[in-house]
Structure 1
């Protein structure tokens, strides 16, 4: 009998190492939250990156008819094409969504401590969720005069996963998914199936979304999906739609057994997932609670976790007066009614922080939940005062998480921390994914080391950095300084040194920061970022036959 089937009832404590997936790396790029650390700070502080549409982003008649608020990336067109082996002739034809997927994929692999160069020839699967093709529409009117042989692969959204796989040299499945707004969570669901079916040894899942043209936003407004007030009031009585969002995220997965054998750092577990099709209510795009509830029931059944063990659900949560009541009813039916009245299910939506990322919305909610499990805290869902009149929270046994608080349940309750993530496509493709934190006692895990002191005395430890150019090297130093300064002091300087030496690609321009304390290493990284000299900071350029120090 599999461990998940012999879980001892509602707790669902044991995780089958062959059917459970380990999340070992994440990356993200959202407005005001350009990496997971900054995303968590934004979420924990209850902040929003929604603002006015950047000046000059859109032009033409449609630009004047769209709502003027959303969460937009700055300069999404900027891209280091040479880093990814893309020639100057080809680069202008590569959709910025393809560019963003390449960047996120690289960063997620590094976060998983997988040297991207070593993915070549492996059974790494690449799965990307995306819906928009604004760049193809931008190029189309000029195709007869400007297009070259690079245009078609550059703008075809179905090739985004293939572009990522080709760059990495990965030989696992490579699939681009468009199921509407649920695309990236469905991509994750398919990746888990590929791992369980032994098609892949690891999977890189990505979701990206950019609004390069106002037309797609205008169509959403005409459908009635966008909030005229420019805020997402999920589950609130003021709910009148969502705001558009940009960016993306990527996740690296392995089977739990493989991750344990490889000695990977495990952020959390994917215990199960399911998809259903909603044939529609009164219209093609009208959701039904029955179809959404079925997706939840199937996901928790596959996970071997009873509904009453769920602590939190990250909502699809668009803040629309039609969608929110249906989603609430489905949650009440599948989870809420199975729980004690004094323990309502906590819910929230990242769309209140960073807008609705369309095809990348699912992975955004997934990454938020991974971070919440890692930090063992629930961040607030914004813009909620009073429930929508068609959402009887008490009767459904639900509550909106309104402030940063400790994760409910968990080991103190004799079970792991459990969460769900929902994402629903406009045409009826529903997806729900079940996560739990990593409980080493539930599987043959390796012993964990004792936490390091806050700032231990250490022998001279080198922090090694590299880049394809001097500017890239300085940027790497800046990111290192910001990230290391923000991290918990229990993450020792020696651990950072080991990660930099063992899990990063080595490029031509290199630097070593050598010091005997964490503060000195941080000061050296900051000096390198600013291009100034500092004790213990060495720079050089790798050349055939040796390294030249400059």
Structure 2
């Protein structure tokens, strides 16, 4: 398994070193800021890159819209009363278009396997590649490098019983969050950590935090970090309606007296991170600098899912 091809086995035998020479050294610690040198993103409103995102922000456009008919029948599921079982108390959300479009061959994935691949995994592959292009880094130059992958991703219900029968052997790998990060490392030949994180709403931020820690600890030389969410089924809408936690108009109204719950939206964002000192040395274009990050938990408080102001203040 270590040397699956004859050429690799011969190369190993020619280059084998005494055991004493094989003992490595501990990673060097690099405390300091982290540079963002590449960005890839897909968001509602037709956002395909950072330029689109910037224009969207400048114009202040509202891209929350009614649930597309290709997702689920909102007419059949909607009811304004959140207490009605099996109904959704909102018709709106943020949705990406054409999530079924994917160039599997570009990533060396067979058509049969591609069908079993959760659209979240597909989008992470595409957006990561675009982030590397934005960083002006040819992906093939990262082969066998200590580049890491840290993704925030929640499991979805893409794999159904029928699909399991039709695509036996692929569905588990195609829908497991752990594979979302590992697949990118496999395709690019990356040898740093490949970690998928699920901390609910904070998943992508926690992924970036862990990525920064990995860079500072000398574990990695570069990292791709980010997160993705696509609502394949109405399950999250149904659950949050039961919890009385879904905003009636599909919009979060942060700090407003009119706030009435969470608004669900889709999207994917990936950043390429390096130690600031390395980015400056290599002449990289720097989009921004991360000077610190932290993670905590509120422990036992008002409720498992209830916000905790003091805990949020403490982490800042």
TM-score (norm 2): 0.84
Kept after mapping to 2: 8 A contact 1:116/1:168: yes
Structure 2 residue corresponding to 1:205, chosen from 225, 234, 250: 225
Tell me what 1:19 maps to. Answer: 32
Q: 2:70 matched to 1:56?
A: yes
Structure 1 CA distance, aligned partners of 2:174 and 2:121? 8
TM-score (norm 1): 0.49
Query: Pairwise mapping of residues 366-515 of structure 1 onto structure 2 (< 5 A)?
Result: none
| Paired positions, count | 277
Deviation at 1:265, TM superposition (A): 0.7
Tell me what 2:41 maps to. Answer: 28
Kept after mapping to 1: 8 A contact 2:155/2:176: no
Tell me what 1:149 maps to. Answer: 169
Distance verdict in 2 for CA 1:232–1:158, change over 3 Å = same
Structure 1 CA distance, aligned partners of 2:172 and 2:96? 25
Kept after mapping to 2: 8 A contact 1:31/1:247: yes
Tell me what 1:77 maps to. Answer: 100
Q: 2:248 matched to 1:228?
A: yes
Deviation at 1:157, TM superposition (A): 1.4
Tell me what 1:47 maps to. Answer: 61
Structure 2 CA distance, aligned partners of 1:86 and 1:155? 15
Kept after mapping to 1: 8 A contact 2:74/2:91: no
Kept after mapping to 2: 8 A contact 1:161/1:175: yes
Distance verdict in 2 for CA 1:144–1:109, change over 3 Å = closer
Tell me what 1:271 maps to. Answer: 291
Kept after mapping to 2: 8 A contact 1:25/1:108: yes
Distance verdict in 2 for CA 1:292–1:258, change over 3 Å = same
Distance verdict in 2 for CA 1:20–1:235, change over 3 Å = same
Q: 2:113 matched to 1:90?
A: yes
Q: Residue 274 of structure 1 aligns to a residue in which SS?
A: coil
Tell me what 1:402 maps to. Answer: none
Structure 2 CA distance, aligned partners of 1:212 and 1:276? 30
Kept after mapping to 2: 8 A contact 1:132/1:209: no
Structure 2 CA distance, aligned partners of 1:289 and 1:230? 24
Note the residue ranges of structure 1 that are not aligned, 5 or more in a row.
Answer: 1-16, 297-550
Kept after mapping to 2: 8 A contact 1:208/1:248: yes
Q: Residue 269 of structure 2 aligns to a residue in which SS?
A: strand
Deviations 1:177-218 (A, max 9, x none): 001110110000000000001110000002000000001111
Structure with greater proportional strand content: 1
Tell me what 2:135 maps to. Answer: 112
Distance verdict in 2 for CA 1:125–1:144, change over 3 Å = closer
Deviation at 1:59, TM superposition (A): 4.5
Kept after mapping to 1: 8 A contact 2:151/2:197: yes
Structure 1 residue corresponding to 2:313, chosen from 293, 300, 308: 293
Q: Larger relative contact order (C-alpha < 8 A, sep ≥ 6)?
A: 2
Deviations 1:8-45 (A, max 9, x none): xxxxxxxxx84210110111100112211111111111
Query: Pairwise mapping of residues 215-254 of structure 1 onto structure 2 (< 5 A)?
Result: 215-254=235-274
Note the residue ranges of structure 2 that are not aligned, 5 or more in a row.
Answer: 1-29, 79-86
Kept after mapping to 1: 8 A contact 2:40/2:271: yes
Deviations 1:115-174 (A, max 9, x none): 1121111111000001132213xx2x2256323222211111121000111111111110
Distance verdict in 2 for CA 1:119–1:275, change over 3 Å = same
Structure 2 CA distance, aligned partners of 1:107 and 1:216? 29
For the pair shown, the structure with the greater C-alpha radius of gyration is: 1
Tell me what 2:81 maps to. Answer: none
Q: Residue 273 of structure 1 aligns to a residue in which SS?
A: coil
Structure 2 residue corresponding to 1:99, chosen from 105, 122, 131: 122
Deviation at 1:232, TM superposition (A): 2.2
Q: Residue 290 of structure 1 aligns to a residue in which SS?
A: helix
Deviation at 1:50, TM superposition (A): 0.3
Distance verdict in 2 for CA 1:96–1:85, change over 3 Å = same
Q: Residue 296 of structure 2 aligns to a residue in which SS?
A: strand
Q: Residue 111 of structure 2 aligns to a residue in which SS?
A: coil
